[in-house]
Structure 1
């Protein structure tokens, strides 16, 4: 793991020298975020653990985070907390968004350092409503960085497709000669469609479920940004039941009303809901490399934005500058 981290730091030319960084951690690969920041030269890192549940004690995330930092010989610069206190907030340069930290609210943003950034570990357009108070960031001049996952260093074109195909394998749907409808209205569309076609599938892409026509479809693949309500609700699923009654609904991203799906006797995969707004499979399903690249890329994007470097389309770094992103479908 340390060798992979060191390789990524070199590849991304990540340098956080002198910066104070706050990161989310869990008992999986997100625990590596603290050590990535430390090995990249951060002067201090505060790791925020998730709330304890009966399925995941907070101590597990703390232990995983501490063990990796100790292996790197950098544990002295690491602190592990359950929440962000006032002093930490006032001295933070980079606040990394994640499950144990979000929502990043106005009250948190108002206390942040005058030269600071919120670092998103995904693309700007993927930001969900309520994830970060964009208006408060604009008012208080707190920058919001995001990472271009399709950049060659990050490799999103490959791992987005690989994650999708892993879902099909789990659902036991062979892709060779499969007929698939991809419901997608966002930049994921090209990567997912091309990956499925390379695997031998026939793919039709639509923006909405009511555009699906009657056919012997093998699968209906949902890949839309989650909203407050399921992206496949009772009306959508009723239409699918009429147009493709034998198809399996595959939840890549965007929530599915599973109660309605059961009513229409539709098969949905994964069988158990991943959790509101979550991906059908976590990225670490593919091993450590994709997740470490995304984390390192997210930190590099924050470094770039804080340095005031110009950002062009296609660059590794992106910025989120308007709450209007939440108003689209």
Structure 2
């Protein structure tokens, strides 16, 4: 580190890479954007100019070997998450890795093994954990507002939301899957966190591709490649059982025929009350004096924006040698559940999760 500042190298100057650079550029007292690279060099050049980045590297490998870089931010297609994260960890770098941590459970396990050997920080970029609604709900739950969570329901329905048809988003070899690994991983991560981080032990799930193969359900995000292909799911549903007996149902889609308002949701059912998040609204539900009572949570005054909190937490973990809230093990947990859902859909049977690393 230079003058106490963490020197960051960014791999991937596309949409998500730009989001990270924009946020970290606001933390000039704690970090400096030292290097950037992208397979499409004009993107890297544009980012370097916009964020005053001194060095543009020709490749991710070159950036990882740069002695002037303390930590790397990886914002590339899913298939490249594990190879780059592992290479960076072995090179002594700290890593902020976009979700999903790996393209599958085996890739995630290898990241965990290397991270443990390196002792360096690896944090998965689940920004939704830092939204004020999540933080406030978690705070109330830690105070005992709803008791023990025994059942939960989470998901995100998009009616016409297939992104970039024919691009890497819809090619399983590069993406690892459709809405399950794209938006489902966010909702799974949130729900498990709010449930108190129980250990998933078995899964029964199904996936479907009713729209994508017919080039229907196309969303507005990303530019389609009609010469490409679609071999992922466009809807997934699952029931997940935990080691403490609790259950979680997960439902996600990119495209579905239903009256959907395109809002993520989490519903938690506890022994003393419940909590619900639908879009931006977060509500505690309970019973007092024989009456059902709903209490809307309010955003605390001066609450910092979610991605800024995420970025500050990453830097804090590096400086203090702390394990991130969204650690490699949380990333592994998510990947193992996603794999089990896909396996259950193929076999038609419940799948027991293999936790051996």
TM-score (norm 2): 0.43
More strand by share: 2
TM-score (norm 1): 0.46
